[in-house]
């Protein structure tokens, strides 16, 4: 057993998850203390994207600029999403956010998947359009519930966990780690909000986290053999806020969170099961 803790920290999977979970705790505290006031509290949201970026670098190293592969593009997508969130946080009362949330996933997809359109195959185009719809749905649902307790970041966390498992089953280990990093980073942010909410899920937090999550998810769909069907089931997670609001128990102090927990976890478990059973059986 001697040296076991060191062996665990040598594991890149554990390291990325631990890093991604701890960094938001540090970053949110430093940003809030350093900047102070309302801006500082909003800025704490960058902790999620920053933690994801650092986890990405620990897994795959610093990507070139311009990036060549989709994996390398994801880190820039998270950073651009973060900057977009900063701008939107300052303009929140002056510009409509929903159109941005509709267009931004399309921009991400265009950058990641434009090569898929070389042959203008109908199936490739349809896949990109469906992915765009999925991304717009995710951003829209997060926007709709971002101010309702911790519903939005919880949906990101659970989706990240599910995506990580699906990518792992689909033989895409680094993408599995990146999805886990999104979940861990959001989890670290959520720890600051327990047991009492201290930081809002600001535009910075939302666009940083959702951009990273969608970038990882789109790359899994476009460039791996992981189950797209299972990933589609994961979208059910983002309907959890809507369903919770319509449950009779939703305003109860104990049963409300329990019911939400069940609603948000169920699609994740179904998606992982689907990925597991749909995955082709190895002949070796």
For residue 256, state whether it binds other proteins (rule: CB under 8 A): no
User: Distance between CA atoms of 133 and 121, rounded to whole angstroms?
Assistant: 19
For residue 60, state whether it binds other proteins (rule: CB under 8 A): yes
Question: Is 170 or 188 the residue whose CB approaches other proteins more closely?
Answer: 170
User: Distance between CA atoms of 128 and 66, rounded to whole angstroms?
Assistant: 22
Candidates 173, 191, 249, 273: give the one binding other proteins (CB under 8 A). 173
User: Distance between CA atoms of 105 and 250, rounded to whole angstroms?
Assistant: 31
Cβ at position 172, least distance to other proteins in Å: 5
Question: Is 174 or 202 the residue whose CB approaches other proteins more closely?
Answer: 174
For residue 164, state whether it binds other proteins (rule: CB under 8 A): no
> Which of the ranges 59-67, 151-159, 189-197, 263-271 carries the binding residues for other proteins, by CB under 8 A?
59-67
For residue 68, state whether it binds other proteins (rule: CB under 8 A): yes
For residue 283, state whether it binds other proteins (rule: CB under 8 A): yes
- If DSSP states are collapsed to H, E and C, what string results for the chain? CCCHHHHHHHCHHHHHHHHHHHHHHHHHHHHHHHHCHHHHHHHCCHHHHHHHHHHHHHHHCCCCCCCCCHHHHHHHHHHHHHHHHHHHHHCCCCCCCHHHHHHHHHHHHHHHHHHHHCCCCHHHHHHHHHHHHHHHHHHHHHHHHCCCCCHHHHHHHHHHHHHHHHHHHCCCHHHHHHHHHHHHHHHHHHHHCCCCCCCCCCHHHHHHHHHHHHHHHHHHHHHCCCCHHHHHHHHHHHHHHHHHHCCCCCCCCCHHHHHHHHHHHHHHHHHHHHHHHHCCCCCC
User: What residues contact residue 118 under an 8 Å CB cut-off, 6+ apart?
Assistant: none
Cβ at position 72, least distance to other proteins in Å: 7
Candidates 41, 87, 171, 245: give the one binding other proteins (CB under 8 A). 171
Candidates 110, 126, 129, 225: give the one binding other proteins (CB under 8 A). 225
For residue 2, state whether it binds other proteins (rule: CB under 8 A): no
Cβ at position 168, least distance to other proteins in Å: 11
> By rule CB under 8 A, what string of x and - marks binding of each residue 71-110 to other proteins?
xx--------------------------------------
For residue 59, state whether it binds other proteins (rule: CB under 8 A): yes
For residue 69, state whether it binds other proteins (rule: CB under 8 A): yes
> Which of the ranges 103-111, 155-163, 164-172, 229-237 carries the binding residues for other proteins, by CB under 8 A?
164-172
For residue 204, state whether it binds other proteins (rule: CB under 8 A): no
Positions in the binding site for other proteins (CB under 8 A): 12, 59-61, 63-64, 68-72, 115, 170-175, 219, 222-225, 282-284
């Amino acid at each position: 057993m001697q040296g076991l803790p060191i062996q665990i920290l040598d594991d890149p999977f554990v390291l990325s998850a631990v890093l991604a979970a701890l960094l938001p705790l540090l970053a949110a505290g430093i940003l809030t203390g350093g900047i102070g006031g309302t801006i500082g509290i909003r800025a704490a949201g960058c902790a999620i994207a920053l933690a994801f970026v650092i986890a990405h670098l620990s897994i795959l190293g610093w990507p070139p600029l311009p990036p060549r592969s989709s994996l390398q593009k994801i880190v820039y997508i998270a950073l651009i999403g973060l900057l977009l969130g900063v701008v939107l946080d300052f303009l929140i009362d002056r510009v409509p956010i929903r159109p941005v949330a509709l267009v931004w996933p399309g921009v991400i997809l265009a950058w990641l998947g434009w090569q898929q359109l070389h042959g203008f195959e109908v199936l490739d185009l349809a896949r990109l359009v469906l992915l765009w719809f999925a991304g717009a749905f995710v951003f829209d649902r997060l926007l709709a519930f971002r101010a309702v307790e911790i519903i939005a970041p919880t949906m990101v966390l659970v989706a990240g966990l599910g995506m990580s498992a699906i990518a792992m089953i689909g033989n895409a280990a680094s993408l599995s780690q990146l999805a886990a990093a999104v979940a861990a980073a959001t989890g670290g942010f959520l720890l600051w909000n327990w047991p009492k909410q201290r930081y809002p899920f600001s535009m910075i937090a939302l666009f940083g986290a959702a951009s990273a999550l969608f970038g990882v998810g789109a790359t899994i769909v476009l460039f791996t053999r992981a189950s797209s069907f299972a990933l589609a089931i994961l979208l059910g997670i983002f309907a959890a806020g809507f369903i919770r609001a319509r449950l009779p128990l939703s305003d109860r102090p104990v049963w409300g969170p329990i019911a939400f927990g069940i609603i948000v976890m169920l699609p994740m478990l179904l998606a992982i099961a689907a990925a597991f059973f749909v995955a082709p059986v190895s002949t070796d």
